Amino acid sequence: MGQITYVKSASQLICMDGEGGPRTGRGMSRLGIIASGSVVIEDGIIVFAGSDALAEQYLSRRQSEAEIVDARGKVVTPGLVDPHTHAIFAGSRENELELRLQGVKYIDILKRGGGILNTARSTREAAEEELVRQSRLRLDRFLLHGVTTIEAKSGYGLTVQDELKQLRAARALNELHPIDVVPTFMGAHAVPEEYRNNPEGYVDLVVNEMLPAVAEYGLAEYCDVFCEQGVFNTAQSRRILEAAGGLGFKLKLHADEIAEGFGGAELAAELGAVSAEHLLKASAEGVQALAKSGTVAVLLPGTALFLMERPAAARSMIEAGVPVALSTDCNPGSSPTVSMPFILSAACLTMRMTPAEVLTASTINAAYAIGRGEKIGSIEIGKQGDLVLFDADNYRQLPYYYGMNLVHTVIKKGRVVVKGGVLVDG
Ligand SMILES: O=C(O)CC1=NCN=C1
Ligand SMILES: [Zn+2]
């Protein structure tokens, strides 16, 4: 008899069930809400989701064997999914905040050898165990904010060995922490100091040495590139992503974050990338291309806020039929946060997404952005038993109480890992 967890009598059960594939347009507003609903999880997999009455019937005599989680007065959603993080790193860059408040631009800090290169220095110096220790604390905080799966990129090593070290740390965390970690290789995050005068030589290193090594050790599912003016141009980005595709990596792209209409969105769509990320400055043609290719637009309103930039045009993307997902972009330079609940609020307040849309964008659509849409992101029979119980009367309160963490209980693969807003040991 398997381990049964019975999540009982939620005031609102947000199933997010529905047609296959990421949700678009009006589909982003269909949440599949069951008033007074219950979920039964057996051996980590959802075996029932529906009304309380039917749950009682389903369990019948086996209720006595179940661990009952009282969800009365709670809103129950799928575990939140963060599809874009740089969460594996050492050090911090709080000094840059004051620099930027004095008017120094993010990209100029990088050009001066700070920014990503600052974190690269501290990440290269850190042993793998130290990387795991520091990053594990961030994963604990993600869990306390209702996040049960994250994507995690490399890109602070910028040498073959240090990129492999970062990805091994991601693998170790995936094994030792309740949160599932989906790894992305991002050696093309910045050109390191030692290649400052030979950026093409660094692209050669990424293509000829880093990608084959990461593929050989099976350390990443995705390849991502910072396609940006002053970082990697579209020709370099294309070369790296085409090489990655040839080695079996699925593709992502940091696109149109800083320079207007740099062509990242168009490139992501042309290469059939699973997702394009940031898109603050995407062109109208780029948005249309994303809609046509079905590439998920991963929007990062926290980053726009932290960089004091206007956010991505989420409304026109949704209206164009682009599947939209949300993320913290957790990283020490442009978005030092793990709070997906705050990102939901920021998406409403700065990009005019609705409460229903931001929930879809942080669950099922975020799951599809990392290739996990058939496994997580909704409360449906056969999916992984990842749930969050929020202290809220209804789902609209999640983005409404901005800056507050309403997470009460988190269940990961059927096991309670956060209770009363506190991590459960073991
Ligand atoms: O600054 C960082 O560490 C992360 C980042 N990569 C591209 N934009 C922000
Ligand atoms: Zn990023």
Residues 157-211 pLDDT 10s: 999 999 999 999 999 999 999 999 999 999 999 999 999 999 999 999 999 999 9
Residues 247-280 pLDDT 10s: 999 999 999 999 998 999 999 999 999 999 999 9
* Cα 152 to Cα 139: distance, rounded to the nearest angstrom: 11
Q: What is the pLDDT of residue 142?
A: 98
The verdict on the CB of residue 86 being under 6 Å from ligand 1 is: yes
Per-chain mean pLDDT for the chain: 97
Q: What is the pLDDT of residue 19?
A: 75
How are strands ordered across the β-sheet holding 250-255? 80-82, 147-153, 180-188, 222-227, 250-255, 275-278, 296-299, 324-326
Contact 341, 45 (CB under 8 A): no
Token pair recorded at residue 241: 């992503």
Q: Is the ipTM of this complex over 0.95?
A: yes
Binding residues: 84, 86, 93, 156, 189, 254, 257, 329, 331, 333-334
Q: What is the pLDDT of residue 127?
A: 98
What is the full DSSP assignment across 278-320?
A: E-TT--HHHHHHHHHHT-EEEE-HHHHHHTT-----HHHHHHT
* Cα 218 to Cα 223: distance, rounded to the nearest angstrom: 12
Q: What is the pLDDT of residue 400?
A: 98
- Tell me what percent of the residues of the chain surpass a pLDDT of 70: 100
What is the 295 CA–ligand 2 centroid distance (Å)?
17
Q: How confident is the model at residue 121 (pLDDT cuts 50, 70, 90)?
A: very high
Contact 255, 268 (CB under 8 A): yes
* Cα 133 to Cα 310: distance, rounded to the nearest angstrom: 35
The verdict on the CB of residue 134 being under 6 Å from ligand 1 is: no
Contacts of 386 (CB under 8 A, 6+ apart): 78, 79, 148, 149, 376, 411, 412, 413
Lowest mean pLDDT among 13-17, 62-66, 253-257, 321-325: 62-66
Q: Which residue is closest in CA terms to ligand 1's atom 1?
A: 333
* Cα 372 to Cα 253: distance, rounded to the nearest angstrom: 18
Binding residues for Zn(2+): 84, 86, 254, 329
Contact 341, 406 (CB under 8 A): yes
Q: Which atom of ligand 1 is nearest to the CA of 156?
A: 3
Q: Which atom of ligand 1 is nearest to the CA of 119?
A: 3
Residue 425 reports pLDDT greater than 90: no
Q: Which residue is closest in CA terms to ligand 1's atom 7?
A: 226
Mark 121-136 as b/e (b = at least 16 C-beta within 10 Å): bbbbebeeeebbebbb
Residues 8-55 pLDDT 10s: 999 999 999 987 899 999 999 999 999 999 999 999 999 999 999 999
| Helix, strand, coil percentages in the chain from 3-state DSSP, rounded to 5 | 40, 25, 35
Contact 226, 250 (CB under 8 A): no
What is the 136 CA–ligand 1 centroid distance (Å)?
20
Q: How confident is the model at residue 322 (pLDDT cuts 50, 70, 90)?
A: very high
Token pair recorded at residue 120: 């690269």
The verdict on the CB of residue 38 being under 6 Å from ligand 1 is: no
Q: Which ligand is nearest to the CA of 224?
A: 2
Q: What is the pLDDT of residue 426?
A: 62
The verdict on the CB of residue 332 being under 6 Å from ligand 1 is: yes
First and final C-alpha spacing in the chain: 22
Q: Which residue is closest in CA terms to ligand 1's atom 9?
A: 334
- Residues 288-306: what's their mean pLDDT? 98
Q: How confident is the model at residue 387 (pLDDT cuts 50, 70, 90)?
A: very high
Residue 1 reports pLDDT greater than 70: no
* Cα 29 to Cα 80: distance, rounded to the nearest angstrom: 17
- Residues 276-299: what's their mean pLDDT? 98
